[in-house]
Amino acid sequence: MNKAQLVEAIADKLGGRQQAAEAVDAVLDAIVRATVAGDRVSVTGFGSFEKVDRPARYARNPQTGERVRVKKTSVPRFRAGQGFKDLVSGSKKLPRGGEVAVKKAPKGSLTGGASATVKKAAAKKAAPAKKASAAAKKTTAAAKKTTAAAKKTTAAAKKTTAAAKKTTAKKATPAAKKTATTAKTAAAKKTTAKKAPAKKATAKKAPAKKSTARKTTAKKATAR
């Protein structure tokens, strides 16, 4: 049975071939899209469709026997439900043409199914967003704490610098005074040392006066 025959088989139940074709297309499209997205499509009593990832591996070419590397890929997989298996194996009898072979969904299971799926998807998307917002808030708080600590450190450094300047100024003033006093004392000593030779010269001139007095006394004695 191909797709056209499938449409013909259900056309009478749906009221026409056009409606049957649209129904078949809609069902198949929904199954394919969900499977490609990675969702598992499960139909009770019929089976489930799912996406399976196959890792890279080595295989052999059946014609040449050559070993070939097969890349990583994803393939669709269909697993028949237990009811479908039982009907195919013959453990259960196939219902007549007027009855449905696949078990019908329980009452209420189809009501709100789409909305529940949408809600779950929204919850999944919202969870990472909430985590990201919480992480962003924590990062902002940590940044504020770091900024405050940096400001405190800067203020402490300024205080330390000011105290160091004051200490340096206090130490420099006594040293400057001592240096000035030492310079004045040295200058005074040099001045005193330069004036001392003048006194010696005066002392040396004194004997010359005595010798003049002696000569005068000798002349007077000779005249007498």
What is the value of pTM for the model shown? 0.46
Q: How many other C-beta atoms are found inside a 10 Å radius of the C-beta of residue 35?
A: 20
pLDDT digits (tens, 9 = 90+) for 168-190: 555 545 555 565 566 666 666 66
The residues of the chain scoring below 50 in pLDDT are 112-119, 122, 172, 196-211, 224
Contact 48, 35 (CB under 8 A): no
The helix (run of H) or strand (run of E) holding residue 76 is: strand 73-80
Helix, strand or coil for residue 87? helix
pLDDT digits (tens, 9 = 90+) for 192-212: 555 544 444 343 444 444 445
Q: What single letter denotes the amino acid at residue 200?
A: K
Name residue, tokens 């080595």: 58
Calculate the dihedral angle through the C-alpha atoms of 154, 160, 162, 167, rounding to the nearest 10 degrees.
-170
Residue count (the chain): 224
